[in-house]
Chains A and B, each alone.
Chain A
């Protein structure tokens, strides 16, 4: 089955950057896009970006365009998300997710999710 294992919680100061990893297993890594989302306390999820592991092309939400970088390492089947210039408003749980791997769909949904990585931004 699909497994997405994320790196551990982070505490950062305002202005710093954070880099979170998401190791994928249980499927062909380069065959499916990987999404990044975040969820601030008491709010709904927010889509941040997407990477095609086959080639590495990315698309980012306009809100994060200038601050987010998503990369991948095909040798370790790991995707990374780096967010820079952190402020307190970036305090959230960050998730990686994939579209459905084992059933047919449009692909425009988030099926398998990582366990989440808590990022806290505080001075």
Chain B
């Protein structure tokens, strides 16, 4: 069982927006501004798309955005494209000087 809770799957049509939630505790998400999100295509290593709650690395589309409220972080993908179909994982630094991940959300673009 993962430390952070994500929905197992979400879906949306091309052009639509979707939001993936990630719920933790005050010892991880609620206690730090160190939430990151990763996109993973089959057989590939995860790729960071959001860091420090809401920042995007250079080269990541501005269709990806992140936010946090209390113990819950969210990833929003706007203008869905077929290439966005992948698994998404949230991650947070935690009070035990470690990092915790969510179990992952499978995004299907209909």
Interface membership of chain B positions 87-105, coded 1 if the CB is closer than 8 angstroms to chain A and 0 otherwise:
0010101001111111110
Is residue B74 within 8 Å, beta carbon to beta carbon, of the partner chain? Answer: no
Complex contact B45–A47 (CB within 8 A):
no
Could you list 26 A-B pairs, sorted by A, with CB under 8 Å?
Answer: A43-B2, A44-B2, A44-B102, A45-B91, A46-B101, A47-B99, A47-B100, A59-B98, A61-B98, A62-B96, A62-B98, A103-B57, A105-B52, A105-B55, A106-B33, A106-B51, A106-B52, A108-B32, A108-B52, A108-B93, A109-B52, A109-B91, A110-B36, A113-B45, A113-B46, A114-B45
Interchain nearest-CB distance for B90 vs A (Å) = 9
- Can you name 13 extra interface pairs (CB under 8 A) apart from A47-B101, A111-B57? A44-B2, A45-B91, A59-B98, A61-B98, A62-B96, A62-B98, A100-B57, A105-B52, A106-B34, A106-B52, A109-B51, A110-B36, A113-B47
Interface membership of chain B positions 46-69, coded 1 if the CB is closer than 8 angstroms to chain A and 0 otherwise:
111001100101100000000000
Interchain nearest-CB distance for B93 vs A (Å) = 5
Residue of chain A at shortest CB distance from B96: A62
In the bound complex, CA of A43 to CA of B106 (Å): 11
Contact with A111, one of B32, B48, B100, B101 (Cβ below 8 angstroms): B48
Residue of chain A at shortest CB distance from B99: A47
Complex contact B34–A109 (CB within 8 A):
yes
Interchain nearest-CB distance for B2 vs A (Å) = 5
Q: What's the tally of chain A residues with a CB closer than 8 Å to chain B?
A: 21
Interfacial chain A residues near B58, Cβ < 8 Å: 103
In the bound complex, CA of A103 to CA of B56 (Å): 11
CB-CB contacts below 8 Å: A28-73 with B = 43-47, 59, 61-62
Tell me whether A109 and B48 are in contact in the complex, defined as CB-CB below 8 angstroms, given that A43-B2, A100-B57, A103-B58 are known contacts.
yes
Contact with A44, one of B45, B55, B104 (Cβ below 8 angstroms): B104
Interfacial chain B residues near A45, Cβ < 8 Å: 38, 46, 89, 91, 101
Tell me whether A105 and B101 are in contact in the complex, defined as CB-CB below 8 angstroms, given that A110-B36, A111-B57 are known contacts.
no
Give 4 closest A-B pairs by Cβ, nearest first: A108-B34, A113-B45, A47-B99, A109-B36
Interfacial chain B residues near A103, Cβ < 8 Å: 57-58
